[in-house]
Copies of this chain bind each other. A is one copy, B any other.
Amino acid sequence: MDRVYNFSAGPATLPEEVLQRAREEMLDWHGSGMSVMEMSHRSKWFEEIIKQAEADLRELMNIPSNYKVLFLQGGAWTQFAMVPLNLMKKGKADYVNSGYWSKKAIGEARKFGKVNVVASSEDANFSYIPELYPETFSKDADYFYITTNNTIYGTRYTKLPDTGNVPLVADMSSNILSEVYDVTKFGLIFAGAQKNMGPAGVVVVIVREDLIAEVNPEVPTMLQYKVHAENNSLFNTPPCYSIYVCGLVFQWLKKLGGVPEMQKINEEKAKILYDFIDNSNMFKGTAKKEDRSLMNVTFITGNKDLDAKFVKEAEEHGLVNLKGHRSVGGMRASIYNAMPVEGVKKLVEFMKEFEARNKIEV
């Protein structure tokens, strides 16, 4: 077996140790005589799995007890509707348009209330995080919405907006657990698992409980946070196996030293790649330097054919999924938590070698 270095933006690479553990436990979890896939979600075993996953996530992110942690289905897209359906009580929210996913969230929210776009970086193809001026924020908004990391464009917020009493809501799908965040600064955080937590099919919601105390009963039951919170994510059959794998990832991360240690490694990985790009004559970063993501590194050669050649040859060297999103072009190296430093070093080595070999063409 020959494992590749997988730079996919998501679903993304998982720690090999986690996959090995899942393989070992596939037919018999801890002497239960069955796979986690075969367990009743009401069994003592699965209860142990989901409770441990929640406890580990609480520990990793230092989540206060007045926040609920939910494991739901439907990905970020379902959250784009659930957030306004549950939180828009006065019918108005502020959104920052920092990329494709923010824009989708804005479109969805407009079905349910008034959306005020306080700032946008669409003028420069979302290559930066827009400056935010608190005097432009709506004082009577139900919440203020941001996307902490923009997967497609390789940008991230390096400081959070001060929204005062208006709860801050964050789509943290592509950088949850990658750097230290103070959860108390947020009203609600959600994140699809398939980048830094586990397999696709589960989305984690961390929400201050006072925000979900009341809900319009006409909202579909499955879209009510309150229902899931009251039932500890076991209102209906949850995506058990995906939650189990997330739990294994949380344990891996704890063993590694938790989020502060992970952040150091992520900063190191990003530095290796950005430093090389900044000193290269061939490769150029596409995101504004100050707003660069630690998770998604976007770059181009400036020549589409050369970009394509790079992606193809990298793949032949076991460095896969480096093609950039069609809206940015070029390349994107997603270096989530599970991407080892060695993978980034191998990528830089290959970039160096490719640059030397293709000098004439630039």
Q: Could you tell me if B239 and A33 are in contact, using CB atoms closer than 8 angstroms?
A: no
A108-B221, A111-B218 known; A201 and B239 CB under 8 Å?
A: yes
Residues of B near A76 (CB, < 8 A) are 236
- Shortest C-beta distance, A172 to chain B (Å), equals 16
In whole angstroms, how far apart are the Cα atoms of A320 and B76 in the complex? Answer: 37
Q: Could you tell me if B23 and A11 are in contact, using CB atoms closer than 8 angstroms?
A: no
Residues of B near A212 (CB, < 8 A) are none
Cβ of A148 within 8 Å of any chain B Cβ, yes or no, is no
Q: Could you tell me if A26 and B34 are in contact, using CB atoms closer than 8 angstroms?
A: no
Q: Could you tell me if A241 and B201 are in contact, using CB atoms closer than 8 angstroms?
A: yes
- Shortest C-beta distance, A86 to chain B (Å), equals 12
Q: Could you tell me if A222 and B77 are in contact, using CB atoms closer than 8 angstroms?
A: yes
In whole angstroms, how far apart are the Cα atoms of A11 and B45 in the complex? Answer: 13
- Nearest to A80 among chain B residues (CB) is B221
- Shortest C-beta distance, A26 to chain B (Å), equals 4
A27-B1, A74-B222, A222-B74 known; A200 and B9 CB under 8 Å?
A: no
- Nearest to A318 among chain B residues (CB) is B33
Which of A62-70, A161-169, A191-199, A261-269 lies on the face that meets chain B?
A191-199
How many copies make up the complex?
Answer: 2
- Shortest C-beta distance, A216 to chain B (Å), equals 10
Cβ of A362 within 8 Å of any chain B Cβ, yes or no, is no
Q: Could you tell me if B220 and A78 are in contact, using CB atoms closer than 8 angstroms?
A: yes
Range for the number of chain A residues in contact with chain B: 35 or more
Q: Could you tell me if B40 and A321 are in contact, using CB atoms closer than 8 angstroms?
A: yes
Which of the residues B11, B43, B81, B236 comes within 8 Å of A240, measured between beta carbons? B11
A22-B26, A201-B73 known; A222 and B3 CB under 8 Å?
A: no
Cβ of A298 within 8 Å of any chain B Cβ, yes or no, is no
- Shortest C-beta distance, A32 to chain B (Å), equals 8
Cβ of A37 within 8 Å of any chain B Cβ, yes or no, is yes
Residues of B near A32 (CB, < 8 A) are 4
Q: Could you tell me if B34 and A85 are in contact, using CB atoms closer than 8 angstroms?
A: no
In whole angstroms, how far apart are the Cα atoms of A230 and B16 in the complex? Answer: 35
Q: Which of A164-195 contact B (CB under 8 A)?
A: 192, 194
In whole angstroms, how far apart are the Cα atoms of A111 and B40 in the complex? Answer: 30
Which of the residues B26, B39, B73 comes within 8 Å of A74, measured between beta carbons? B73
- Nearest to A25 among chain B residues (CB) is B23
7 contacts between A and B (CB under 8 A): A4-B34, A8-B38, A13-B38, A19-B35, A108-B220, A111-B220, A220-B223
A: residues with CB less than 8 A from B are: 1-4, 6, 8-14, 16, 19-20, 22-23, 26-28, 32-35, 37-41, 43, 73-78, 80-81, 85, 108, 111, 192, 194, 198-202, 217-218, 220-223, 235-242, 245, 318, 320-321
Other than the given A22-B26, A74-B74, A108-B221, 17 more pairs (CB < 8 A) read: A2-B28, A3-B34, A6-B33, A11-B38, A11-B41, A19-B26, A20-B26, A20-B27, A33-B318, A37-B200, A41-B200, A73-B239, A77-B236, A81-B223, A85-B220, A192-B237, A199-B239
